[in-house]
Amino acid sequence: MSVTTSPPLKGIKVVELGTLIAGPFCTRILAEFGAEVIKIESPDGGDQLRQWRKMYAGTSLWWYVQARNKKSITVNMRVAEGQKIVRRLCADADIVVENFRPGALEKWNLGFDQLAKVNPRLVMVRLSGYGQTGPYRDRPGFGVIGESMGGLRYVTGYADRPPVRLGISLGDSIAALYGVIGAMMAMHHRNVNGGRGQVVDVALYEAVFSTMESLVPEFDVLGFIRERAGNALPGIVPSNTYPTRDGKFVIIGANNDAIFKRLMAAIGREELANDPALATNAGRVARTAELDGAIADWARRHVLDYVLRVLEQAQVPSGKVFDIADIMQDAHYIARGMLEQHALPDGKPMKLPGIVPKLSETPGATAWLGPRLGEHNAEVLGALGYDDAQQRDLKLRRVI
């Protein structure tokens, strides 16, 4: 197998107008695979993500991941001269990604219709809480709202407690992935089918809603509302999380008929393995509590390492619940290149998550970490024809 030196998106120019999570995560993926991503930030401090969560030497550690391979320039998009810079950047761009509230770019004379006049081939990815149309379009919407309206929060947690938040901003990330997919489809249509540029309209709630499996037909046909079920997988048995003797947890998914028999034999419950009433999932669902109890009793008597070893030998899908310390020392993560070694600006070593997906011929790569605010002003503005004196003047007047 040969690996080419050119990344798959080499030659693709992307202008990022977004902040925080959804828009910048979308462009991060494009940058990881070789697109030139020019991130436009406010001269007044830049993207707020630079100051979010854990900091090191005045900069968020998250920033170095989210903005890797991007070029940072500062532009005040609220003034006419700043808008002119953005339009000049977009004149030969392939993709623009933004996640402002609908109507904001139009107010700044940077909407799709305005940019398409200077570049009819432009693809604009627009990520927002509720989409560019509809009665809710003007409402502010973050990932947490998308997760709630999309149905995810309602089914997350335990039936006797309020819905819970997932540990990450999953709604933003799902929307970002749809943004990448939409951009690639629009580019293919433009480049292969002779089409024009177009808008990729991604609403956070719709991105979440699209992952919600069978909720719609189950309610529409049967009137069934899926409820919170904790760690169990409703209607699929056995599939749950079980505590072990050393205070850890094992996840076991033995919902296939043959796997169920192997699991019962492995934990010494041959009578359950050979019970005809438990030969199919429907029979097991009727006895969920009994089966979960049997598995839990066995797991509680043993430490996690022993439990995992027995289950692996029996070819039963299982795994421990990884925290980040487990991940950082896991042999499989390391072998798959999912922990990249880099260095912070002062030389301090720092690992970053590896790049997904893995392409056999044109893999993605980390060329540099998230840049300083405005680090690429001279390079990018110089390429647009602004000489040193003009750039100094723009800076003095807070245009950049």
pLDDT at 283 over 80: yes
65 lies in some domain: yes
Q: Does residue 193 fall inside a structural domain?
A: yes
Cross-strand pairs, 41: 74
* 66/195 same-domain check: yes
Neighbour count for residue 233 (Cβ, 10 Å): 12
Which range is least confidently modeled, 3-7, 188-192, 252-256, 305-309?
Answer: 3-7
Distance CA 127, CA 203 (A): 6
pLDDT score at 3: 61
How is residue 275 written in tokens?
């019970």
Average pLDDT over residues 117-146: 94
Asked if omega into 357 is within 30° of 0 (cis), the reply is yes
Q: Is the pLDDT of residue 2 over 90?
A: no
CATH of the domain at 196: 3.40.50.10540
Q: Could you tell me if 171 and 107 lie in one domain?
A: yes
List residues bridging with 351 in a β-sheet: 341
Q: Are residues 159 and 261 in the same domain?
A: no
232 pLDDT above the threshold of 90: no
Does residue 206 share a domain with residue 290?
no
| One-letter amino acid for residue 392 of the chain | R
- The per-residue pLDDT for range 138-159, each reduced to its tens digit, is 998 888 889 999 999 999 999 9
Between CA 81 and CA 77 the distance in angstroms is 8
Tell me the C-alpha distance between 304 and 250, whole Å.
Answer: 7
DSSP state at residue 101? P
Q: What is the pTM of this model?
A: 0.93
* 355 burial level (CB within 10 Å; 0-12, 13-18, 19+): buried
Nearby residues of 110 by Cβ (< 8 Å), 6 or more positions away: 17, 77, 83, 86, 87
| Number of domains the chain is built from | 2
User: By the 8 A CB rule, do 116 and 197 touch?
Assistant: yes
In terms of Cβ atoms closer than 10 Å to its own Cβ (0-12, 13-18, 19+), residue 51 is middle
Claim to verify: residue 65 and residue 170 sit in the same structural domain: yes
List active site positions: 172
Residue 331 domain-assigned (yes or no): no
- Reported as a pLDDT band with limits 50, 70 and 90, residue 302 is very high
321 pLDDT band (50/70/90 cuts)?
Answer: very high
Mean pLDDT of the chain: 95
3-class state of residue 215 by DSSP: helix
The answer to whether residues 226 and 218 touch, using CB atoms and an 8 Å cutoff, is yes
Task: Identify the domain containing residue 167 by its residue range.
Answer: 13-211+337-396
Give the chain's end-to-end CA distance (angstroms, integer).
46
Residue 21 has pLDDT above 80, yes or no: yes
- Residue 210 pLDDT class (50, 70, 90 cuts): very high
Q: Are 38 and 71 in contact (CB under 8 A)?
A: yes
- The C-alpha angle with vertex 236 and arms to 230 and 241, in degrees rounded to 5, equals 40
Residues 245, 187 share a domain: no
185 and 74 within one domain: yes
Residue 249 is part of a domain; what is its CATH number?
A: 3.30.1540.10
Look up tokens 């042999």; give the residue: 331
pLDDT above 90 for 245: yes
Q: What is the mean pLDDT of residues 239-251?
A: 96
Which one-letter DSSP state was computed for residue 394? H
Domain end among 292, 320, 348: 320
Band (pLDDT 50/70/90 cuts) for residue 8 is very high
In contact, 86 and 17? CB cutoff 8 Å: yes
Residue 2 domain-assigned (yes or no): no
Would you say residue 192 lies in a domain? yes
Please write the tens of the pLDDT for every residue from 334-366: 999 999 999 999 999 999 999 999 999 999 999
Q: Would the pLDDT of 281 be above 70?
A: yes
H-state helical runs in 248-357: 257-266, 270-273, 281-285, 288-300, 304-313, 324-328, 331-335
pLDDT reported for residue 1? 41
pLDDT tens across 284-296, in order?
999 999 999 999 9
Q: Read off the pLDDT of each residue in 167-188 and give the average, rounded to a whole number.
A: 96
pLDDT for 33 equals: 98
Question: What are the angstrom distances between the C-alpha of 52 and each of 142, 254, 305, 334?
Answer: 15, 40, 37, 27
Closest CA to 372 of 29, 15, 46: 46
**At 233, is the pLDDT very low, low, confident or very high (cuts 50, 70, 90)?**
confident
> Using one digit for the tens of pLDDT, what is the confidence trace for 83-103?
999 999 999 999 999 999 999
Q: Do 127 and 22 meet the contact criterion of CB atoms below 8 Å apart?
A: yes
- Same domain for 97 and 180, yes or no, is yes
| Phi and psi angles of residue 200, each rounded to the nearest 5 degrees, phi first | -105, 105
pLDDT at 4 over 70: no
